[in-house]
Amino acid sequence: MKLFLLLFSFLFTINLSAEVFSINLENDVVDGKDKHYTNGTSFMYLSNKDTNDLDKYDNKLFEYLTLIPTLTNNTKHQSLGLTYSQLAFTPDDLERRDKIVKDVPYAGVITLDFSLFKWNEKLFHNYMLTLGMVGPSTKTAQFQKAYHNITGNTKPKGWDNQLKDNFLYNFAYSFGYKNFENKFDYGKMDLTSNARIDIGNYNRAVMISSMIRYGDNYPNNFNTLGRLIGSNSDKLLNIDEKRNDNFAWSISYGLGYTYTDYFYINDYDKSYELEKIKDTFTQLISVDTFFDAFILSFNFKTSKFIFTNENSTRENWGGVSLSYIF
């Protein structure tokens, strides 16, 4: 936790002016019970798009970041992002107090994502460094118990068996591209594809996805599926392209595939005797509304997890996010 405070302090000494701030909530309440990845809360921040303007920002960090290369040379914009997340994982049976072998363990995770976006209106590159913690120090058990006291849901009784404290780190690279854009007399449509690779002691995976969107008057941001678990900062890119004094809306459908080599929650503690996750197929439906400086979004995500023994399970989550453009 002290490390996170130091990193926050450093961030605010580099004199960024905020572009977008977003709060994202995700929960498996749509399934009617807690199971495995059960809820996530994220706070996201994205800087201005001109942090590569060294005449405007006299900052050594920006100078070094501007030198980082990409596979394409036409990225005229640069943005910095920071995301704080808390995620909760539980087994299927919340009534049991003992350790449940062959089911996902209780686990709380907090992470800080540091993102560097290099982009133009057609494509983006995202370099992401994730630092985090798993275990009792995250206080996820207390948070979930308090939440269930408020909602009246089943109280989780097995948090004494949660995964122990450990440090998490990950690096991710993702590339997004707008394959198609078209305007009609009665609205507009776009298709955005995304590829992502994660390496580290938290998650090692490769993901590909596409999202198709239809709506009216929405900004030309990058409407990607994001990542398998957690918030999606890609959608904040270029979201300030215009402010909507008139109401704007969009509805999207996304499809993604993830190959997982290692996921800490599932694979770290071998005593749980869990099968490794191999393939995951994800579908996402999203409804976004835009008015002035505010964006309100709702989504439904469903994933089919296929394990190395060819067994499979399907899990669903609902999400809501509120974003504000400064």
- Total tally of structural domains belonging to the chain: 1
Q: Token pair for residue 315?
A: 């899990």
Sign of CA dihedral 168, 22, 122, 66: negative
pLDDT of residue 8: 52
Give the per-residue pLDDT at 5.
55
**Which residues of the chain register pLDDT less than 70?**
1-18, 54-55, 152, 241-244
Look at residues 64, 60, 193, 174 and name the one whose alpha carbon lies nearest to residue 122. 193
Q: Is residue 252 within 8 Å of residue 225, measured between CB atoms?
A: no
CATH code of the domain in which 271 resides: 2.40.128.140
Strands 107-119 and 203-216 turn out to be unpaired
Per-residue pLDDT, 11: 52
Distant-in-sequence, close-in-space partners of 2: CB < 8 Å, separation ≥ 6: none
- Angle 266-116-239 (CA atoms, 0-180°, nearest 5)? 100
Question: Measured in whole angstroms, how far is the alpha carbon of residue 152 from the centre of its chain?
Answer: 28
The three-state DSSP-derived secondary structure of 169-207 is EEEEEEEEEEEEEEEECCEEEEEEEEEEEEEECCEEEEE
What integer pLDDT is reported at residue 226 of this predicted model? 94
Q: Which domain holds residue 57?
A: 2-325
Instruction: List Cβ neighbours of 60 (8 Å cut-off, separation of 6 or more).
Output: none
Closest to 77 in 3D by CA, of 236, 188, 211, 197: 236
Instruction: State whether residue 270 is helix, strand or coil.
Output: helix
Per-residue pLDDT, 292: 87
Q: How far is CA 107 from the centre of its chain?
A: 18
Classified as helix, coil or strand, 54 is coil
pTM: 0.91
- DSSP string of 5-38? HHHHHHHTTS---EEEEEEEEEEGGGGTS--EEE
